[in-house]
Structure formats: C-alpha cells, structure tokens
Structure 1
C-alpha cells in the first residue's frame, strides 16, 4: 500500500518537474516575471498578502529540486525498506521539499523565513532519525548553527520595516546605495554563510552525515545547503556596489581551499562527499561575489545533479557493505557492482570537471571567466589550488573504491541486483551526461566568447593531470605512517583547521562546567547542601574546632602542672 503511495508521489513530482522545466524555458525565451498575490486577511485598512514570484531561474531550480526529490523518494523505498518508521521518514522528506519550494518562490522575507526555518527544523529531525548519541550531537550542532542564520534573518526583517514592506525584490534597484539596504545585505550575507556552511560555520556540514543517505543526497545537492547561495543570487543587484564583498569572497575561497584539503585526508566515504559539497559551495559563493551570478546559478544546477547521484551510489555501497564507510577497506567494487560503479565514476568525474560531462560546462566557464578578470594574485592561486585538490580527492576516491584490493571479508554479498535502486539512478545518470550541455544552451544561447592565450585555455586540462598526480601523493601518504613531526599538520588538515573543536568543545566546556556546579548547588542539591550535608559539614567543622580547643586545653594544663612542679622544687631547694 505504502509502496503505491510512494510510486504515485514520485510520478506526480516527475510530471511537475517536467512542467516547470518547460515553463522555465518559456519564461526564459520571452523574459517573463510573474507575481501571484493571495489576500489572506483584511482588517480595516490593513491586509495580509502572500506573494509568490516566478521567473525562469525559479522554474529551473524548482524543476531540478523536484526531479532529484522524485529519484530520492523512489530510492528511499528500497534503501529504507526495512525501517519500521518509513511513513514518518517519507513525510519528513516531503515537508523538507515543501519548505525548499516555499523558499524558492518567495520574494518576501517573511515567507522566506518560513521556508528557511522549515529547512532548519526538519533537517534536525532527519539528522537525529537514527537515535543515538552521535546523531543527537550532530543534530544539535546542525540546528544551532542554522539558528544563528535565522537570528540574522529576523534582524534583517526588522530593518526592512523602514521600507514599509518585506518584499525585498521591489526595493533593490533604487535602494542600492541606501545605508539601511547595505545593513540588510550584511545580515542576509551572514545568514547565507550559516546555511551554506562557510567558515567559521563549516563544522555542521560533515556532522549532518549522521542522517540517512537519501536525506544526505537531497540536502547536499539541491535543498538545505543551496538555500543560502540561492538567496544571495536573488540579492545580486545589491552585491555589486557593496564595499565589504571582497572580505566575504576571501572567506568563501578559504572555505573552498580548506574543505578540498580536508577531503584528501579523510577516510569516511560520506564525509569525503560532504566536504566536496562544501568545496563546491565555496566555489559558488566566490564566483557570485566576483559578479557572475548566472554562472553561480548554472553551477548550482549542475552540481545538484551529479552530487545527488554521487550520494545515492555511495549509499548503495554502504548498504551492501553492511553500513561500513571506511574507504581503506573497500576496493575492486567495479568487478562486483559494475552498474553502480559506472554511475559513481560518471558522477565523480563530473565533479572534477572532466570534459563534456555536466560539471565541465560550468567549471570550465568559471575558470575562464576568472582568468579574464583583473583580480589579485592570491585569489587566483587559491582558486587553482582548490580546483587541483578537487581533482585530487576525486581520483583518490576512485583509486580506493575501484582499483585497490578489497580489504574486507572474502565472503561477502556485494551485488547491484536491486533494480529498484538502480532505476532511481537512470534519470540522474542521463542528466549528469547531458544536463550540463542542455542547461548551458538554454541559459547562454549566445555563447561566452572568452579570448585567452592557448596556455590559459589548456589550464583546466592541466589541472586534471596535476590533480591525478597529487592524488597519488595523498594515497602514498595515507598508506604509510607519518612522522610525529608532521602529525600536528595532518591532524590540523584532517580536522577542518580545528573548526569542529572550536564549534563544540571549545565553546561549551566552561559553560557546562559552571552550569553543572550551579545546578548541583542551587537547583538539584540545595536541600542536601543546606540541611544534611550542610549539618554534617558544620559538625565536622565544630568537631575539628573542639579537637583544637581540647588540644590547647591539654597543652595549658600540662604547662600549669609543669609550672607547679618547678615551683615546688624551688621552694624545697630554698628551705
């Protein structure tokens, strides 16, 4: 019965996705923007109006979100088939999708807050779905990090009252240089940084891997983490004239570099893919701050396609390996699970920008646009190093999963005969191969003619070869023990520059210590402290005082007797 409901829901989402894609194509050709207003409540001269905004960007993004969602729901039916709470899980996923849809179609900060909060709270419910200590800790880190962004969004809503309405999209053209709009943009930027896990809020993204893998494929591709990027794309007109954008761009570039470096030292399969998401989010944010909002949106769409497929393939591998995630024990998967391995390799190569896959069209265009700009050398070098690191951890993953020897039990049941799961890969696999070219032809009907010297044009291919060589270095470092001298550096790189420690233990250690003592003294233990334990302590003090007085009394008595004795001897001697 429930399988039929999932199948019907998947078909509905797929039809809606195709309809929205055709609608986005129509809106793009004729450059249409539609506002739909619902009058919810009238009270005297006041009215509460719900506004929805549709343009080609909104329709394309909705189409990709619903397409990935229908694949994930169909995949979840088989992946979570033995779960007793499958109804609750699918309901949470549908609420999660609805919150993202509400955020996408809202030109109003109030309705954006509803979708924004919905994403944060439902992601908490999904992260703690497997109820254990690790999941609870990860869920609290996730929800509290996102609540910081909610607070900044609430402050920006308060500042928007100066304009008389919360429909920010009406005020961006003629309020660019207004001080209030600059303050609102600053708060919106901070909120987007928390949702997109930029430094210093990066530690919650790998922690959210405690959620089931279908949730991870949805969260890390097109919903939760991309909400901040999408909101910044909507505020692009105000971004161009802001004086503090270069500082935020520096943070985004450092996020991309840090996550790429950390992924090369990580051994958990899901965390490597999560860190690759963080790296791509840093790339989207930084290219957005450089002024290429369409390129950032283009990469957001292509990244959503191959990242969803990558997580779903990783989930099937983990499922067959009995929930084991360490890549050092995997290997030769291609001989036992050929179809899943092909899908995984296509998604992985698309991630590193291999020619003519989905990721190539956006990444190549981003790099060439960067080469054509007159920007500082530091940003240029960090961009190149981060791209090389992306290729490096991609080929490191391919080596450990496909080429190296299988290091687990010789008796295993690895296979990809679950055609229910395999069917959910097919649509995403087609889009990973053809989606990049299709989106580039639609979004850029007049191709970008970027004239560069030959050695600049060949840099993307050189980056791929350099990344392959660097991956061999990281594989070699992983196979042998590092010296004690380099242990600190290895720990520093593999712990995201100690951001998880700063976000958790570094903040809560002293407050928890003081609150524990305060709770013991003032709340839980005050009767004990003032009555029984207090009386015992008072009696101990009094008894020690009496002992001291008795000691002094004995001492004085001995002195008195000694003095009498000496006096008696003195009298007898004189006589």
Structure 2
C-alpha cells in the first residue's frame, strides 16, 4: 500500500532524471552535428534484414526530453488527482506503458520497429480511455481504437511496399523516394499520420477520447498519442518535397484547423474545448509541414506540448474543485477563489493565442508569417486567417465563462488552491510555458529565418487576433440574446458545434452497416463456405486420402481383390466401347 502511494513520486523522479539525460545527449549531438544508429538484426529474409533500430540524433533526443519532462509532471500530478481511485496502481502502470510505447516510436527510424510503439500507443490508449468502465467510455474507446486501426493498416501496407528497397529504414531513403513511383507509400504514411493526429475525416475520436482521466488527456494531447502522426511526417518530410501529397495534406490540415476552431466556439464541455484546440494546433503543425518547413512544425510541436499539458492540468484542478462538473456554464468567477490555478491557466491560454514572448508566440507567429510569405492558395490563406481569429475567440469565451464572469456554482462547493501536489506539478510547466519558447527558438534556429512581408501582412496576425478576442468576449457578454438568436439558425449552429457531423458519420451510420455486414460475412463466409472450401474441407479430403493410403499399406487381401475387380470392370467397359 505504501508502494502504491509513493509510486507516483518514484515514477516522476525517474522520468525527470531521464529527461535530464536526454537533454544532455541532445546538447552533445546538436553541437557535434552527429547522429548514431543502433541496429539489432532479428532475422533475414531474401536479403532483407528485419532489424530493430534506434536512432540517437538531436531531433529524437530533444523530443524524448520533452516527453519525459511532461510525463514526470503528469505522474506527480496524478498522485493527487487519482488518489481516491481504487485502481490507482493499474492506472500508473498503464501510463508508464504509454510513455514506453512513445519512446519506442520516437527512437525508431525503421518502419517495422516503429510499428511496435505505434501499435502500443493504440492499445494502451484504448485501455486508458475505457478506464472508468461505463458505456460512454466503452463507446469512446471503440471509436478511438477503430479509427487508429486504419493508420496501423496503412503502416503495414507501407512495410510491404518498402520491401522492394531491401530495407525499412525510411529515414535513409528520403532523397530516393522523391520519385513519383513512390506516391502510394507517401500517401500511406500521410494516411497513418492523419489517423493518429485526427485530421479530417478521422477527427471524431479526439474529443471522444476525453472520456479518459484528465492526467491521461494532459499526456495524450501534449506530447504522446496525437503528436505521433506529426512526428512520423517530420521524419518522412525529405520524401514529401515537391510531391502532390503536400497539396493534399495542406488543404486537409487547413480544413481541420478551421473546423476545430469553429466547433470549440460552440462547445460547453471544458475538456472538449481544449481537445478541439489541440486538433486545431495539429492542423497548424501539419499545414506548415506540407508547405515544406518541417523544422518549424517540430518547433511548434515542442512549444505546444508545454502549454497544452499545463492547460489540461489546470482544467483538471478546476474540475476537481467544482465537484466533477465539466460544463463551463456551471463555473464562473474562479479567479477570486483559485488565483494560482487561474494564473497558470491564463498563461497557458495566452500562450495558445500567441501572446508576445510566451512559448506559443515564437512558434505560432513564425509559422503564420512564413505561411503568408509562401506560395499558398487563396483558400488555405483564408482558412489560416479564420482559424487564427477563432482560436483567440474560443479562448476568450473559455476565460469569460469559467475564470471571470458571474458565480454559477452551488453554495457547498469547495473551491481552493490548497492541493500542493497539483499546483507544484504545474509550476514547472508554467515556467516552461513562459521561457521555453525563446530557448527553443535559439536551439532549433541558430540562424534566423529571413521573412519579407508588407506592413499589412506583418500586422495581419495581430489584427486578426485582436478582432477574434474582442468578438469572442463581446458575444459572450450578450450570451442571453446570443442563445435566443442561435435558435433561428439551429441547423448552422448544430453543424458547426458538432464538428460538421463527423461523430455521427464515424459511429451511427457507417459503423452500424460495417458491423452488420461483418456479422453476415462471419456467418456465411468464415463459418460457412470458407470453412467448407477451406480449412475444414481440406481436412476431410486429406483424412479420406490418408485412410485410403493406410488401407493400401496394410497388404489386405480384401483391398487388392476389390481393386482387381474394379480394374477388370473398367477394362471390360473400355473394350466394349
């Protein structure tokens, strides 16, 4: 029992020390400009060696250090958040397995070895989503795991295609795969990344996965599950240059960015609002990667991980304090009762909006300016502008309803900042959300980008952000009249707030038909004709033939007489013809 209670401290300490080790290795690799690959050959098949590969370069080490740092904070945070759960020990082991799967995925430049971490993330995420064991969690877990299986199949098909190269180390074949003959492999890699990072049309599982405990959400939406797809595309980026896949990825990610920002402005569940903001930022990362800037995508991936983990941890403190409610309409005026947690949440929200000199500003502002400077089509440019304004809008809406506004809580609610485990675990991430953006900008870009824009385009990001913030706050000040007016446009509001009906399309219609068709196929095929003509049929045929051979080898007189008579009858029939 004592071990169970102290497990979160031990795990957090080990993960924190591992993060320091990874930072040290990153500094060595970054300054020396070297990388190391460690291979373990498992078997060789037709001159193609199946090997487990580990790559130690500055990208994997820097990302690993962030994964371990955030995991350490989440582990420490879970010691208080999950302390009343009877399955606390199982929860901690599942989170450790989740982190281990992410480590295997990050360190693998090989398509076969990456599958171990990739499938591990999908399996453990399913176990964590259904942790609370109710019908809602079961449905969310099934949607999550079935959506991610599409990407797993894409990886398996990619393994089959790469067998022609004689090796599955895709990190070494970037220049070779620029040829148009490898479009299918690039499409499969993009499909795998779209499922893991929940791009359209696979976006429905990301808000549904909020059925998991809040510490899991902090880990999943910052540096582990949803970032695996972005990380895979960053590794594949040399092969994407000049490919048609880039255009397709750009429009899909921009649509996802806009759709998530629009949906968050109509959502009232606190965790789902933050989940939709994650989806929007994933669209930002993949869109700038599609424009040919993988380093910028990686930069935003790291800075986003810090403030998004902090945002989820603050949301968990708020939910704990208001007796488990997640509806922001049941909150309000929390700044007077939880000043420390509200301060951290405000810092994370401002970093998400790209407030100057916070972590999100350095990456997001640079991404938008580079996008405006690039050769980009008009539709993508408009979606970028709208998504930026919507991000500030739903952030201000969240601040109005939960942190400021009027008091909407019951009189018996105990709202305070007294939990030292939760607040102390948020302090490190709060500090990182303030200073880490500047540090990362110098580490990743020692030589700055040259950005040439007109005065209007330079101030467009700031102008759109201010307009979005003012509109978001003003509309919520008129919340009563807004709700009445929304009834006149019920269809539009319903479509915008339900992620363009994607949850319905992903579950009710398509899934029910597939499951019904699968049941019929199992009865008619797997348990019917496939068995008769396949395994069981062959079993009966071979059993009969073996019995005949066995009778022939017993030297029985009856058998030979029977064969002699039958042979004579056949000869007489032949002669008569």
Same fold by TM (over 0.5)? yes
Aligned counterparts of 1:44 and 1:484: Cα–Cα separation in 2: 66
Distance 1:133 1:441, change over 3 A: same
Q: CA deviation at 1:463?
A: 2.1
Query: Paired residue for 2:142?
Result: 140
Aligned counterparts of 1:183 and 1:400: Cα–Cα separation in 2: 47
Q: CA deviation at 1:382?
A: 1.0
Query: Quick check: 1:25–1:442 contact (8 Å CA) kept in 2?
Result: no
Query: Quick check: 1:265–1:474 contact (8 Å CA) kept in 2?
Result: no
Query: Quick check: 1:264–1:474 contact (8 Å CA) kept in 2?
Result: no
Q: CA deviation at 1:367?
A: 1.2
Query: Quick check: 1:358–1:433 contact (8 Å CA) kept in 2?
Result: yes
Aligned counterparts of 1:377 and 1:384: Cα–Cα separation in 2: 11
Query: Paired residue for 1:281?
Result: 282
Instruction: Write out aligned runs for 1:232-381 (5 A).
Output: 232-381=233-382
SS at match of 1:497: coil
Instruction: Write out aligned runs for 1:110-125 (5 A).
Output: 110-125=112-127
Q: CA deviation at 1:248?
A: 2.1
Distance 1:47 1:314, change over 3 A: same
Query: Paired residue for 2:495?
Result: 492
Post-superposition Cα deviations, 1:439-496, rounded to whole Å, max 9, x if no partner, equal: 0011111122323233322222212211112203542574332354400000000000
Query: Quick check: 1:53–1:107 contact (8 Å CA) kept in 2?
Result: yes
Distance 1:175 1:488, change over 3 A: closer
Instruction: Write out aligned runs for 1:201-240 (5 A).
Output: 201-240=202-241
Aligned counterparts of 1:111 and 1:333: Cα–Cα separation in 2: 47
Distance 1:159 1:459, change over 3 A: same
Q: CA deviation at 1:167?
A: 1.3
Query: Paired residue for 2:559?
Result: none
Query: Quick check: 2:49–2:166 contact (8 Å CA) kept in 1?
Result: no
Aligned counterparts of 1:258 and 1:515: Cα–Cα separation in 2: 32
Aligned counterparts of 2:160 and 2:522: Cα–Cα separation in 1: 36
Distance 1:133 1:257, change over 3 A: same
SS at match of 2:53: strand
Aligned counterparts of 1:492 and 1:416: Cα–Cα separation in 2: 38
Aligned counterparts of 1:316 and 1:484: Cα–Cα separation in 2: 34
Query: Quick check: 1:35–1:52 contact (8 Å CA) kept in 2?
Result: yes
Query: Paired residue for 1:425?
Result: 426
Query: Paired residue for 2:174?
Result: 172
Aligned counterparts of 1:329 and 1:362: Cα–Cα separation in 2: 34
SS at match of 1:458: helix
Aligned counterparts of 2:219 and 2:238: Cα–Cα separation in 1: 29
Aligned counterparts of 2:517 and 2:110: Cα–Cα separation in 1: 42
Of 223-232 and 451-460, more deviation after overlay is shown by 451-460
Query: TM-score, normalised on structure 1?
Result: 0.87
Of 473-482 and 242-251, more deviation after overlay is shown by 473-482
Q: CA deviation at 1:321?
A: 1.1
Aligned counterparts of 1:510 and 1:48: Cα–Cα separation in 2: 38
Query: Quick check: 2:372–2:457 contact (8 Å CA) kept in 1?
Result: yes
Post-superposition Cα deviations, 1:373-402, rounded to whole Å, max 9, x if no partner, equal: 232222111101100000110111111112
Query: Paired residue for 1:30?
Result: 32
Query: Paired residue for 2:109?
Result: 107
SS at match of 2:120: helix
Gaps of 5+ in 1: 523-575
Distance 1:403 1:290, change over 3 A: same
Instruction: Write out aligned runs for 1:121-200 (5 A).
Output: 121-177=123-179, 179=181, 181-200=182-201
Gaps of 5+ in 2: 526-577
Q: CA deviation at 1:251?
A: 0.9
Of 49-58 and 118-127, more deviation after overlay is shown by 49-58
Distance 1:519 1:362, change over 3 A: closer
Post-superposition Cα deviations, 1:142-181, rounded to whole Å, max 9, x if no partner, equal: 00000011011100001111111111122222232151x3
Aligned counterparts of 1:518 and 1:121: Cα–Cα separation in 2: 26
Aligned counterparts of 2:275 and 2:517: Cα–Cα separation in 1: 35
Q: CA deviation at 1:24?
A: 1.2
Aligned counterparts of 2:173 and 2:520: Cα–Cα separation in 1: 52
Structure with bigger gyration radius: 1
SS at match of 1:438: helix
Aligned residue pairs total 522
Query: TM-score, normalised on structure 2?
Result: 0.87
Query: Paired residue for 1:550?
Result: none
Alignment RMSD, CA only?
2.2
Query: Quick check: 2:253–2:287 contact (8 Å CA) kept in 1?
Result: yes
Aligned counterparts of 2:328 and 2:17: Cα–Cα separation in 1: 38
Aligned counterparts of 1:273 and 1:11: Cα–Cα separation in 2: 28
Post-superposition Cα deviations, 1:344-374, rounded to whole Å, max 9, x if no partner, equal: 0000100010010000000110111112223
